[in-house]
Amino acid sequence: MDGMMPEEPKSIVIDDTEWGCIHSQYHYQDKDPAIITCIVNVNNTDLIATELVNSVLNTSWISSLDAGTQRSYKVTAKETTDALVEIFNKVLDGDPLGAEFGEVMVSIGSSRALSQILHHISLPIAELWKPQLKQNEGFDFHTTCTGNLINFGEAKFSASINPHGNAIRQAHDFITQDKHFRDRVHLVNLCHKDAIKNLDEEKYGIIAAFSINSDHPEIIMDNAIKTVIEIELLDRVSFIYLVGVKC
């Protein structure tokens, strides 16, 4: 009807009681369909720590591979799993959130949010299948979306600042250095063949995930969008997912 204001898009809000989080899609002014933004509010650290333990202990991704490939990944996965479970258990025992726990929480929590809100498939975090433990070899986590695009995720955590700029710029640097293509040798074992075909044709997405230390997360998300536009990251990728994790 003439004269009526257009309806605001309805945000998706999911109360993830299993993980102690609320996942919500953030709609911003002048929305670009290639930039998708979400906010994760962690309201129960013990619950998410428990689910992080369960996540890294889940080895079903290995058992689905052929015997030779399983053998290649088992040692790396075991070393990383033991180290991560120790970190998660310290938080469950009452230790404060540290950088190691925080970064993995941001990685897996963001992947979880995208799976809940946008039906992405969460892949095992990269530390479980990359050859060295806790090395900055490239992207931290990955998902595939419903369009069979692989999304390369970079996570940053801070207990005091809002590291959205660091996450976005690091993701940009990794793309520039072709670190996403270095992951292909592993992703071919973890993704649908159509997702690999799209990657070979340079069709893929980026996830910049970051902790939020602010009572106004919308301002942080808006600043993150500005950074994406300023560094022209959309010139290099099909989609950009920005996920802020507040705890």
Structure tokens at 47: 């619950």
Phi, then psi, of 152 in degrees rounded to 5: -100, 120
Distance CA 234, CA 130 (A): 27
The token pair at 196 is 């690999």
Answer yes or no: are the C-beta atoms of 241 and 207 closer than 8 Å: yes
- pLDDT: which is higher, 29 or 89: 89
Mean pLDDT, residues 205-214 taken together: 97
Cα three-residue angle 111-41-153, rounded to 5 degrees? 25
Interval 128-164: pLDDT, tens: 998 654 556 789 999 999 999 999 999 999 989 999 9
Task: Give the number of other CB atoms < 10 A from CB of residue 33.
Answer: 6
The pTM for the full model equals 0.92
